[in-house]
Each structure stands twice: as structure tokens, then as C-alpha cells.
């Protein structure tokens, strides 16, 4: 095992453990906070893979924006702060069975397929320089389409969250 | 570094997300588990980009696009969950078993 593999394994264990805590904890807010740990460890895995730009985007958007959105969602649905019952459905064992068989099949397949392939880690391949050039030269059309998608999602979220009383009325008083 | 390490960890994280989506009742927890699955896919994208030394950096760019789409998805998903909460008073996915609006005459 090389040093990179040891660090990667440690980060992977942290990400997996925090993920398991996220899907098993009985407190909604704790689930969101374990999600922060899991996303942070995944960002560390990107750093080990020398994808530094993706790592910082992960920290900014996932840890910074998405978890805050989830916490707002928890707050607005008036979830209890303490442990709450009934967060798990009755088909937990079926879910465990499906997830376990997914894990066994995928891990067996990937281990047999990629055991001998090696990544030569060299810094520079994931810098903001290289990725910026790639996005704004080769990938500029998908990038612009994605901005339209974000705009559509934003408008959709606004339309959905308008309350029904003032939908259809457009007077300035009612907004 | 062997390619198997990121691939295996991504597969395990994906399975954790699958368990969360299937076993959780609260809609917000289901969304969180979906985010775990998206993260697992991103690890794969970045690892295979690094393995293949892609000149266009396709894997990393696609990982960035996935992150953006995940942000759009969580925004819309939470808007739907909040609408559900306002309409029905609970967000348990097991209990959403009617397609019509719940209290038409009250509004």
C-alpha cells in the first residue's frame, strides 16, 4: 500500500461511517451534520486524487449550500429537535437486503475488473487552470445549457413555493 | 494508487445511499440519501478521469456538472417537500397515498 492509498482508505472509512450514521440516526439535524462529515471526507478523497478544483467546488456547493438548504427544509417542516420515532419505514430489512446485494455485486465486479489498473497521480491535472481551459473551450456549450437548467430550476422552485392564495393575482400589493 | 480503491469505496457509498432511499420515511432524509448516491458517482468520475489522463478532462467536468444538477435537484425537491408539508401536514413518503389534493373545500 502506498501512502496515497492509506490516506484514501482512511478518508473512505470516514465517509462511509458518516454515511451510515446519516441513514441510521434518529435525529434529523444530526443526519444533516453527519452528511457534512461525509461530504468533507469525499472532498479529501478528491484532493488525494489530485482533483483540487472539484474538491473545493464540493466544499463550497455541497457543504456550503446544499446542507444549508437541507437544514432550512428541516426547520421549515417543523421537525422536532430531539430524537423522533418513525423516521424509518417498515421495510428496513428489504432495504438492507437490496443495499447489501448491490454492494456485494458492485464490489465483486469492480474489484475483479480494476484490481491491476493503476492511477499515476501527478499534480496539475485537476487544477483550476486546466479545468477552466477545458470548460470554456471544449465544454462551453454544455456549460451554457446547464446555466439555463439552473435558471429553470430556480423559476420552478419559486412557482412551487408561492402560496395558493396569491397564485393568479398579480397586483403589486399581494406580490 | 490502484483504481480499485476509489471504485470500491464509491460502490459502498452508493449502497449506503440505496439503503437510505429505501429505508427512510422522512422525505428530507430520502433527499439526503440521494445526495450520497450522487457523491459516490462523482468519486468514480474523478477517479476514472485521473486513470485515463483525459485530455479534455471529461470526467472532472462531468463531476462539476453533476454537482450543479444536484444543487438544482435539491432546490426543486425541497420546494416540493415544503408544498407537501403545507398541503398535508406531514412529509412521510409512506403516507402519501392519495393523488388528489387533500383539503379542497378548506381553501
Domain ranges of chain A: 3-84, 127-162
Is pLDDT of A115 > 60?
yes
Residue B107: pLDDT band with limits 50, 70, 90: very low
- At A175 the pLDDT is 46
pLDDT digits over A135-159, tens only? Answer: 999 999 999 999 999 999 999 999 9
Q: Quick check: B67 and A62 CB within 8 A?
A: yes
Q: Which residues in A lie closer than 8 A to residue B72 (C-beta atoms)?
A: 149-150, 153
- At B1 the pLDDT is 84
Select from A32, A66, A97, A36 the least CA-distant residue to B22: A97
- Chain A nearest-CA distance from B99, in A, is 17
Is pLDDT of B89 > 90?
no
pLDDT digits over B49-70, tens only? Answer: 999 988 889 999 999 999 999 9
Residue A1: pLDDT band with limits 50, 70, 90: confident
Chain A contact for B85, CB < 8 A?
yes
Residue spans of alpha helices (H) in chain A: 3-24, 28-48, 52-57, 67-76, 92-114, 128-137, 140-161
Domain annotation for chain B: domains and CATH numbers? 4-95 (1.10.287.3510)
C-alpha A174/C-alpha A166 separation (Å) is 7
Q: Taking the mean position of all CA atoms in its chain, how far away is CA A99?
A: 18
For A54, the closest of B8, B24, B46 (CB atoms) is B46
Q: Which residues in B lie closer than 8 A to residue A77 (C-beta atoms)?
A: 28, 81-82, 85, 91
Those residues whose C-beta lies under 8 Å from the C-beta of residue A45, and which sit 6 or more positions away, are A8, A11, A12, A15, B6, B9, B43
Is pLDDT of B71 > 70?
yes
Is pLDDT of A41 > 80?
yes
Chain A contact for B41, CB < 8 A?
no
Q: Which residues in A lie closer than 8 A to residue B12 (C-beta atoms)?
A: 12, 16, 103, 107
The mean of the pLDDT values for chain A is: 88
- At A167 the pLDDT is 54
Q: Which residues in B lie closer than 8 A to residue A72 (C-beta atoms)?
A: 78
Q: Quick check: A32 and B8 CB within 8 A?
A: no
CATH fold of A3-84 reads 1.20.120
Residue A34: pLDDT band with limits 50, 70, 90: very high
- Residue A145, C-alpha cell as written in the block: 445549457
Residue A166: pLDDT band with limits 50, 70, 90: low
Contact criterion met (CB below 8 Å) for B36 and B20? yes
Amino acid at each position: 500500500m502506498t501512502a496515497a492509498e492509506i490516506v484514501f482508505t482512511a478518508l473512505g472509512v470516514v465517509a462511509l461511517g458518516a454515511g451510515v450514521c446519516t441513514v441510521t440516526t434518529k435525529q434529523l439535524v444530526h443526519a444533516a451534520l453527519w452528511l457534512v462529515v461525509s461530504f468533507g471526507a469525499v472532498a479529501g478523497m478528491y484532493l488525494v486524487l489530485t482533483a483540487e478544483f472539484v474538491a473545493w467546488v464540493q466544499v463550497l456547493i455541497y457543504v456550503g449550500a446544499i446542507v444549508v438548504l437541507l437544514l432550512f427544509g428541516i426547520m421549515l417542516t417543523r421537525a422536532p429537535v430531539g430524537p423522533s420515532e418513525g423516521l424509518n419505514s417498515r421495510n428496513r430489512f428489504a432495504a438492507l437486503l437490496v443495499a447489501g446485494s448491490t454492494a456485494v455485486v458492485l464490489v465483486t465486479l469492480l474489484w475483479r475488473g480494476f484490481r491491476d489498473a493503476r492511477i499515476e497521480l501527478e499534480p496539475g491535472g485537476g487544477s483550476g487552470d486546466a479545468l477552466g481551459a477545458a470548460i470554456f473551450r471544449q465544454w462551453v456549450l454544455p456549460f451554457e445549457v446547464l446555466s439555463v437548467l439552473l435558471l429553470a430550476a430556480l423559476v420552478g422552485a419559486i412557482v412551487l413555493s408561492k402560496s395558493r392564495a396569491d397564485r393568479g393575482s398579480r397586483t403589486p400589493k399581494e406580490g | 494508487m490502484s483504481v480499485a480503491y476509489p471504485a470500491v469505496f464509491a460502490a459502498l457509498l452508493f449502497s449506503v445511499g440505496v439503503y437510505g432511499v429505501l429505508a427512510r420515511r422522512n422525505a428530507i432524509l430520502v433527499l439526503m440519501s440521494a445526495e450520497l448516491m450522487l457523491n459516490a458517482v462523482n468519486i468514480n468520475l474523478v477517479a476514472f478521469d485521473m486513470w485515463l489522463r483525459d485530455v479534455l478532462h471529461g470526467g472532472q467536468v462531468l463531476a462539476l456538472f453533476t454537482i450543479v444538477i444536484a444543487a438544482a435537484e435539491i432546490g426543486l425537491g425541497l420546494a416540493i417537500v415544503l408544498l407537501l408539508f403545507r398541503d398535508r401536514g406531514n412529509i412521510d413518503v409512506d403516507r402519501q397515498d392519495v393523488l388528489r389534493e387533500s383539503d379542497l373545500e378548506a381553501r
